């Protein structure tokens, strides 16, 4: 079979794709989803055991699991939120102390870098 369909309420596509590729290697062409249905696309005809393994991986998929990139993005967002809170609390009528100046500069650099490269936000 060239693809299988599995009912799944929610998914995290990068994590599911990585799990399938880790188990089945270059047999996996990709994953697509629509209306509670996940379709696993194979690069060639999958054997019965390969299709069964792919189905098991999809059925056991935890959509709350994050990829390394997603965890990194979450950490960056948390750091940015902390820096934004610090900057919002600054008293702009007085000179900034060294530590607060550094935090304000970090916030500004992260914000501008995020605008220039949306992939890092």
Residuewise pLDDT in 10s, the chain (121 residues): 699 999 988 989 999 999 999 999 999 999 999 888 999 999 999 999 999 999 999 999 998 999 888 898 888 888 888 888 877 887 878 887 888 888 888 888 877 777 665 555 4
Distance, in Å, from the CA atom of 30 to the CA atom of 3, rounded to the nearest integer, reads 10
Give the containing element (helix H, strand E) for 31.
strand 28-34
63-89 burial by CB neighbour count: b if 16+ within 10 A, else e? eeeeeeeeeeeeeeeeebeebeeebee
Task: Tell if the pTM clears 0.75, that is, is over it.
Answer: no
Beta partners for residue 29, in sequence order: none
Distance, in Å, from the CA atom of 54 to the CA atom of 50, rounded to the nearest integer, reads 6
DSSP-based helix, strand, coil % in the chain, nearest 5: 60, 15, 25
Name the residue among 20, 27, 37 with its Cα closest to residue 2: 27
Distance, in Å, from the CA atom of 90 to the CA atom of 10, rounded to the nearest integer, reads 42
Residue 78 near residue 48 (C-beta atoms within 8 A): no
Residues 6+ apart with CB under 8 A from 116: none
């Amino acid at each position: 079979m060239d693809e299988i369909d599995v009912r799944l309420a929610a998914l995290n596509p990068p994590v599911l794709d990585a799990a399938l590729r880790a188990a089945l290697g270059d047999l996996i062409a990709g994953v697509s989803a629509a209306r509670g249905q996940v379709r696993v696309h194979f690069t060639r005809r999958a054997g019965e055991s390969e299709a069964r393994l792919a189905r098991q991986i999809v059925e056991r998929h935890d959509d709350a699991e994050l990829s390394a990139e997603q965890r990194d993005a979450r950490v960056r967002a948390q750091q940015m939120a902390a820096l934004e809170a610090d900057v919002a609390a600054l008293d702009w009528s007085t000179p900034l102390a060294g530590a607060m100046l550094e935090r304000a500069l970090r916030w500004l650099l992260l914000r501008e870098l995020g605008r220039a490269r949306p992939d890092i936000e």
